[in-house]
């Protein structure tokens, strides 16, 4: 039997934990505080939404510290936000059996950073296409019929990828890929552009793309991130659209084909309120350092200019600190701050 610990019983962790226990997969759960462990032990977990209603009681749930006294785990599925993941990773490594696996499922650079910190023999990379929200602690809503994608950061398939997929299968849909990093970047390219710009502008993509500043920031943000991905040797996978825009010449070139490509992205994401904007509204720290901040950091390391991603990361930090507010004017400021050239003629 594989001993599995799920750490972080928020939207994703709670949803996965409920589906796993319902499928008869024995899992242990870890919360941040003893108080929330006690509350969840009393309330159990309840899930609604896509995939049907489910609930779990008689949970084995405690803090990470409490698990130090007991048996170790074969697999730890890490479902906290990015900052917490980096902070608690060394403690989690101590809870693994020899040969055990840590599976982070955050967006962006988290898996890579954890592998740099703990070694890639411990860290397997995961990516969630599953969407979920937490209504209140213990009560979750599954928002789509998504899946977890897992794979080796170094690429290719391995026995441990197969084993981890087998251990989790039945609860939620698990898919494996030999190019996990390509999928991570496919999502990162859209998070960097669609989501972050919407958060900074305080608007949906469909709204900010009606302004020339919005179109320009989108083009440059995406182009920089794609240039970093390609220069780092990654082959981004297709997600909604081909990752390389039509007519790409080291940067996007205005054309009808390019506009169709943008419209395809808009058809899927154009009306979604950016999750980072919700973080601003709730005064929560964002994951910007693992999204645009990571693109800027990696760009610097490998010599690819990322002025717009860098300026955006600064603006997001300023919004987090209450020094400025999200709004369409931020996009003009950020083009000025980045000294960005203006290439596009505004679309109608």
51 secondary structure, DSSP code = T
d(CA 49, CA 201): 30
Residue nearest to ligand NAP according to CB distances in the complex: 10
d(CA 62, CA 35): 9
Using CB under 6 A, count the residues that bind ligand NAP. Answer: 26
Say whether residue 118 binds ligand NAP (CB under 6 A). no
Say whether residue 134 binds ligand NAP (CB under 6 A). yes
Binding mask 57-96 for ligand NAP (x = CB under 6 A): -------x--------------xxxx-x---x--------
Binding mask 242-281 for ligand NAP (x = CB under 6 A): ----------------------------------------
d(CA 234, CA 222): 15
Say whether residue 287 binds ligand NAP (CB under 6 A). yes
Closest listed residue to residue 138, CA positions, set 25, 14, 13: 14
Binding positions for ligand NAP, 151-180, rule CB under 6 A: none
Q: From the list 107, 195, 196, 215, which residue makes contact with ligand NAP (rule: CB under 6 A)?
A: 107
Nearer Cβ to ligand NAP (135/343):
135
Q: From the list 2, 32, 72, 246, which residue makes contact with ligand NAP (rule: CB under 6 A)?
A: 32
Stretch that binds ligand NAP, among 28-36, 48-56, 114-122, 241-249 (CB under 6 A): 28-36
Closest listed residue to residue 75, CA positions, set 155, 169, 189: 169
Q: From the list 2, 74, 93, 131, which residue makes contact with ligand NAP (rule: CB under 6 A)?
A: 131
Nearer Cβ to ligand NAP (11/228):
11
Residue 119, Cβ neighbours under 10 Å: how many? 11
Nearer Cβ to ligand NAP (49/326):
49
Helix 180-190 with 212-231: angle, nearest 10 deg: 160
d(CA 32, CA 81): 12
**In DSSP terms, which residues pair with 301 in a beta bridge?**
none
Instruction: Detail the DSSP E strand segments found in 69-200.
Output: 73-78, 96-104, 125-128, 132-136, 139-142, 147-151, 173-176
Contacts with ligand NAP, residue ranges (CB under 6 A)? 7-13, 30-32, 36, 64, 79-82, 84, 88, 105-107, 128, 131-132, 134, 287
């Amino acid at each position: 039997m594989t001993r599995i610990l799920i750490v972080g019983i928020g939207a994703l962790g709670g949803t996965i934990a409920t589906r796993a226990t319902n499928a008869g997969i024995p899992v242990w759960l870890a919360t941040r505080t003893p108080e929330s462990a006690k509350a969840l032990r009393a309330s159990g977990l309840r899930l609604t939404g896509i995939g049907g209603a489910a609930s779990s009681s008689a949970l084995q749930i405690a803090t990470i510290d409490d698990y130090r006294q007991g048996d170790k785990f074969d697999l730890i599925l890490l479902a906290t936000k990015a900052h917490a993941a980096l902070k608690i990773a060394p403690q989690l490594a101590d809870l693994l059996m020899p040969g055990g696996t840590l599976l982070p499922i955050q967006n962006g650079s988290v898996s890579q950073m954890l592998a740099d910190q703990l070694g890639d023999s411990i860290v397997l990379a995961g990516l969630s296409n599953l969407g979920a929200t937490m209504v209140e602690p213990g009560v979750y809503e599954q928002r789509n019929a998504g899946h977890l994608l897992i794979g080796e950061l170094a690429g290719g398939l391995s026995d441990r990828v197969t084993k981890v997929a087998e251990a989790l299968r039945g609860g939620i849909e698990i898919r494996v890929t030999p190019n996990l990093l390509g999928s991570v970047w496919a999502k990162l390219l859209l998070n960097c552009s669609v989501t972050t710009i919407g958060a900074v502008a305080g608007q949906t993509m469909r709204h900010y793309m009606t302004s020339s500043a919005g179109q320009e920031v989108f083009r440059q943000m995406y182009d920089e991130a794609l240039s970093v991905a390609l220069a780092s040797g990654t082959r981004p996978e297709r997600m909604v659209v081909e990752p390389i825009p039509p007519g790409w010449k080291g940067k996007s070139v205005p054309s009808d084909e390019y506009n169709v490509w943008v419209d395809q992205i808009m058809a899927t994401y154009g009306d979604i309120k950016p999750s980072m904007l919700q973080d601003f509204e709730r005064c929560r720290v964002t994951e910007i350092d693992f999204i645009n901040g990571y693109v800027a950091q990696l760009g610097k390391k490998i010599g690819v200019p990322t002025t717009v991603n860098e300026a955006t990361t600064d603006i997001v930090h300023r919004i987090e600190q209450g020094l400025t507010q999200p709004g369409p004017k931020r996009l003009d400021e950020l083009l000025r701050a980045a000294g960005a050239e203006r290439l596009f003629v505004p679309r109608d």
